[in-house]
Amino acid sequence: MVGVLFKSFIGVSVITCAILTAEGGAERKGDGMHPQDRAYTVAAYYFPSYHPDPRRERQYGAGWTEWELVKQARPRFENHAQPKVPAWGYEDESDPAVMAKKIDAAADHGIDAFLFDWYWYDGPFLERGLERGFLEAENNNRLKFGLMWANHDWTDIFPRTLARSPELLYPGKVSSATFEAATDYIIEKYFRHPSYWRIKERPYFSFYDLSALVGSFGGLRETREALERFREKTVKAGFPGLHLNIVMWGQTVLPNAEVAPNPAELVKELGFDSVTSYVWVHHVALSEFPSMPYQHVFIEYLKYAREAVNLYSVPYYPNVTVGWDSTPRTDQSGPFIKAGYPYTPVLVGNTPTAFQEALQSIRDFLDTRPSDERIVTLNCWNEWTEGSYLEPDAKNGMKYLEAVRTVFP
């Protein structure tokens, strides 16, 4: 029924033998394929919150990671599927051997790149999963990596209690000097790595929060100038250019977030090269509490995706979301009510079969696009505390990853 519902909405197109011009990507175990030899590029977001970080240890104690919230999660309503139990255990992603296992699993199941959520709050934050894990993994040539600067406010929601508003720990807006320091670091530390993901030889770099970006510089002209300086530094470093992507959303999720007005105009004015999404709930209001059907949210998101390709003057890369359940970040001892993030409705019915049907529909959607725009983002490799992960768990094993490989072999 799920497949009929999805396919009747989008229509089934003939899969073409298109060659994607996005450069680099995962060498596939056993067949040696690269994305330029594939019809699609599949990039999974990676949330690096599962390794000890000095700032968090000072606040929550030695060795603290978000695995603690995963372990403590409990059902918040009837038939609520919590806690989630990782099949690989509560591993430290900053261990190169642990990351190597993730890289192999991703590359073996149709994923071409990890898009790391990247943080800079007066210096790097949660960077060890990438810098000690991925970059030191002996097999990091099998998978490309890119960055999405998660430039949003960082608030204390680990967990959030209903008795008080989340405390702001680190602001998302940055100074011009901080922006220059961060972009210098990015070019030298990441862009030069042979596994960094490029589109037409240009390093791919994404921003999460457009409002915070513009707010950092005080206006569109100043923001455009800052982005141009970033481009110029990238060219000076020996690259033919920089591919700047922006994550757009029409619904806020995190505390203190704001929806950017006139998104198409802003994208054009600021000179971005492409647009994508992070998660479906950025585009679909979760109006039913405590849960909403996964299929319903997908259909509503798909309406947005079909509009987005005509709305923006640059390519739009669609998203497929595994699920949504931010209840591990709520106070497990208190009531579960609709009270703003993370007290939000949960997506239910997001089985591996339903996820595969969504992937198939998005592949059909991509087949209507030019061959060099057939890029899809997945949420997420490991958003365990938001209920959206591809990594194997005790209930479904590798089935979500197998769904990716089936649709994007």
| The pLDDT of residue 357 | 98
Mean pLDDT taken over the chain: 91
pLDDT confidence tier of residue 255, bands split at 50, 70 and 90: confident
| The pLDDT of residue 34 | 46
pLDDT confidence tier of residue 42, bands split at 50, 70 and 90: very high
pLDDT confidence tier of residue 252, bands split at 50, 70 and 90: low
3-state secondary structure the chain: CHHHHHHHHHCCCCCCCCCCCEECCCCCCCCCCCHHHCCCEEEEEECCCCCCCHHHHHHHCCCCCCHHHHHHCCCCCCCCCCCCCECCCCCCCCCHHHHHHHHHHHHHCCCCEEEEEEEECCCEECCHHHHHHHCCCCCHHHCEEEEEECCCCEECCCCECCCCCCCEEECCCCCHHHHHHHHHHHHHHHHCCCCECEECCEEEEEECCHHHHHHHHCCHHHHHHHHHHHHHHHHHCCCCCCEEEEECCCCCCCCCCCCCCCHHHHHHHHCCCEEECCCHHHCCCCCCCCEEEHHHHHHHHHHHHHHHHHHCCCCEECEEECCCCCHHHECCCCCCCCCECCECCEEECCCHHHHHHHHHHHHHHHCCCCHHHCEEEEECCEEHHHCEECCCECCCECHHHHHHHHHCC
| The pLDDT of residue 12 | 34
Mean pLDDT calculated for residue range 4-23: 34
- Is it the case that residue 11 has pLDDT exceeding 90? no
Mean pLDDT calculated for residue range 31-50: 79
pLDDT confidence tier of residue 254, bands split at 50, 70 and 90: low
pLDDT confidence tier of residue 38, bands split at 50, 70 and 90: confident
Distance CA 244, CA 246 (A): 7
- Type of residue found at 189: K
Mean pLDDT calculated for residue range 211-227: 95
Distance CA 219, CA 154 (A): 22
pLDDT confidence tier of residue 251, bands split at 50, 70 and 90: low
- Is it the case that residue 31 has pLDDT exceeding 70? no
Identify whether the C-beta of residue 107 lies closer than 8 Å to the C-beta of residue 142. Answer: yes
| The pLDDT of residue 198 | 98
- Is it the case that residue 116 has pLDDT exceeding 60? yes
Mean pLDDT calculated for residue range 184-212: 97
pLDDT confidence tier of residue 23, bands split at 50, 70 and 90: very low
- Is it the case that residue 293 has pLDDT exceeding 60? yes
Higher pLDDT, 257 or 86: 86
Distance CA 186, CA 310 (A): 32
pLDDT confidence tier of residue 259, bands split at 50, 70 and 90: confident
Q: What global pTM score does this model have?
A: 0.91
pLDDT confidence tier of residue 118, bands split at 50, 70 and 90: very high
Higher pLDDT, 26 or 109: 109
pLDDT confidence tier of residue 9, bands split at 50, 70 and 90: very low
Which domains does the chain carry? 2-407 (3.20.20.80)
Mean pLDDT calculated for residue range 75-81: 98
